[in-house]
Structure 1
């Protein structure tokens, strides 16, 4: 099963990372981070099919937030390794043009709008390359689990549905960080989902601050 293979690969990566971290613990440090994220699903000609019609769906990004902790360790004078645990709140708007064909042959349609709120726990494992003493390039895989996914009607407190979508997410992460101070840095990242969930492939942009403890 593909998910099992992904999990096994991720566990191996984490194990190797932890072993390396133990051998260079004197050059390692912990920290916390947080900031803004903007998420969107990339959908190519996607429509949800039901028994009574065709539902073309469009997703619009909305801001959310993330908070978490990280562990970084020095590999050599140029490279750093890092493992992270991030809690992420992601939001987006969903618009579906619903077309229903009744028995008389007419094709009425209407537009349904809902807002989606998702809570995820993600685990990035990254390599950091020092472009300069203060600018670093970050790249690596990220494993994610959807803790909850709810849909709401705008301007209403009612929950449309508690979605039971695919809860596993595997992404590739690319980013840059800039050291503002010795213990404070500005980070920008882009995450691209490799696995298609029911809605499509997830794209996430993040901008935040990391504080070294």
Structure 2
């Protein structure tokens, strides 16, 4: 599945790039609000973090373009709990704590953009994600413990993006997206979901 999607992305990009009328390059970054969903998630909250990377806009007509991106994206989730039975932790039973899952991805979205008005675009497209690192932070009573949990997560993620964008004549642009993960990132039917708010500039 992973190999098929990677080959499809490469072929898709080559086909459309060969038909392009104009290509622009730029950079973007911004705010992440990510969580998880699925059958065995529990009462988790959104984790606030960031994303940053490079973009290219491949224009085919005045109305339609593709925007492939290469992003570092810090995702995950967090939730509150009561410590009970953690032998590694020197804390009284019943201590309140916050557990944060920190999942860092290299994401490759390919976004189709349709301009409905000058500068304003509707955006949607698939995304491949490759897990760079997975850590778990446990905060309690002013202390923090870190755990590497790479082996608990799948190294590959696939999802869809939906959003809006606005681009100024000087190259400055803004966009907001919802990302819906479609593949399980653990063995327990858990998937990524989140919002991204970006600002960038086309050179």
Report TM bin, short chain.
Answer: 0.7 to 0.9
Matches of 1:64 and 1:116, distance apart in 2: 12
Greater C-alpha radius of gyration:
1
Q: Which runs of 5+ in 2 are unaligned?
A: 86-93
Structure 2 counterpart of 1:127:
112
Structure 1 counterpart of 2:135:
150
Asked if 1:76 corresponds to 2:76, the answer is no
Asked if 1:187 corresponds to 2:175, the answer is yes
Matches of 2:148 and 2:138, distance apart in 1: 10
- 1:63-212 matches, cutoff 5 A: 63-95=48-80, 113-154=98-139, 155-164=142-151, 165-198=153-186, 200-212=190-202
Matches of 2:146 and 2:103, distance apart in 1: 13
Cα separation, partners in 2 of 1:153 and 1:77, compared to 1, 3 Å: same
Aligned length: 191
Matches of 1:7 and 1:137, distance apart in 2: 29
C-alpha contact (below 8 Å) 2:36/2:193 kept by paired residues: yes
Q: Give TM-score scaled by structure 2 length.
A: 0.83
Structure 1 counterpart of 2:15:
19
Moved more, 120-129 or 69-78: 69-78
Structure 2 counterpart of 1:36:
31
C-alpha RMSD over aligned residues: 2.5
Q: Deviations over 1:155-176 (max 9, x none)?
A: 4342134342112100011011
Instruction: Quote the offset at 1:11 in angstroms.
Output: 2.1
Matches of 1:6 and 1:85, distance apart in 2: 17
C-alpha contact (below 8 Å) 2:178/2:195 kept by paired residues: yes
C-alpha contact (below 8 Å) 2:36/2:76 kept by paired residues: no
Equivalent residue of 1:17, what SS? helix
C-alpha contact (below 8 Å) 1:43/1:58 kept by paired residues: no
